[in-house]
Amino acid sequence: MNHPWIVYFTAFMGDRLHRARTAPTRGASAVEWVIITAIIAGVALGLATLIANLVKDQQAQIQENFGEGGGGGGGGEP
């Protein structure tokens, strides 16, 4: 446990933990960011679901109006 990298890492993490525990606004700020991110993700997911449903409805309406396609239009005899 006397390797220089282990000593450095232990000191670095100890300093980070000390600063995180003693800074009262940093924790609150992190929580605010998590809440804001969750709200944005929820809105994005809701919009994606709405758009997907609208596209599926339009696809069903197009298939109903025009059938399943299947024409082919290969020329052939008149």
Where in the chain are the domains?
4-68
Instruction: Report pLDDT digits (tens) over 42-51.
Output: 999 999 999 9
pLDDT in tens, 18-29: 887 777 766 667
Q: Is the pTM of this model over 0.75?
A: no
Residue range 28-39: average pLDDT?
86
Tokens of 71: 């024409």
DSSP class per residue in 13-78? HHHHHHHHHH-HHHHHHHHHHHHHHHHHHHHHHHHHHHHHHHHHHHHHHHHHHHTT----------
Q: d(Cα 53, Cα 59) in Å, to the nearest integer?
A: 10
Mean pLDDT of 59-70: 81
